[in-house]
Amino acid sequence: MPSHVEAVFDIPQNRLSTPPAFYQDMRGYDDQQIRGVPRRTRLVGAGAGGYVLAYVYDHPQPQKDFTEQLRALYQHYTILDDDHILSKLLATDPALYSLLIEAVEPLRRAFGDKRLIYVRVQSSDEDTILKVTVRLPANFGNNPESALQTFDEEWWLNNCHRSSGALVFDYEMQNAV
């Protein structure tokens, strides 16, 4: 004879023989592999607990023709690399193109019109970045550090998060040794 507790809870269970369509089996999550190949590790911030790193993964990108984007960039920049190398970087980090186009006016306001602005891809074993360098004459009237700080404060600090750390702005003096 069942006890009183067993009798109260002796309710037929209507269990589904198969899990519903939205069911997600949580077993084996520790064994799953992340798809894509880790390309680089980025320092995204530092807090009270230490540094925070983000892993950026390369995923297969659809092939895209960057001829129009490169043509637009050539109107404002002197590109020091092969178009194929720059196209590959633009395919990996699509936000770089719009950042480069948007940066033209703030760079001109900070450093003056008619400055040569170079773009080059710099690669290491772990990382690839796009470096933008404003070439200044030796007799540049303003302090170049002050001009770079103006550019940073007026535009770059509000937009640098969009580059995922893959874009750097700097200057160089024309007759620097």
pLDDT at 107: 97
Q: Which two tokens stand for residue 110?
A: 């900070």
pLDDT at 114: 87
Pairing state between β 50-58 and 37-47: antiparallel
- Angstrom distance (rounded) from CA 93 to CA 72: 17
**Residue 18, domain member (yes or no):** no
Q: CA 6 → CA 11, 12, 14, 28, distances in Å?
A: 9, 12, 18, 35
CB atoms within 10 A of CB 67: 10
- Write the Ramachandran bin of 80: left for phi over 0, alpha for psi from -120 to 50, otherwise beta: alpha
- Blockwise average pLDDT, block size 10, the chain, 177 residues: 56 57 50 46 52 53 74 94 90 92 96 93 90 93 92 96 94 79
Domains identified in the chain, total number:
1
User: Is residue 16 one of the residues assigned to a domain?
Assistant: no
pLDDT at 35: 47
Q: What is the pTM of this model?
A: 0.63
**pLDDT score recorded for residue 31:** 44
User: What pLDDT does residue 106 have?
Assistant: 97
Return the CATH number at 137: 3.30.300
What pLDDT is stored for residue 66 in this prediction? 80
Q: Is residue 152 part of a domain?
A: yes
Domain that holds residue 88: 62-173
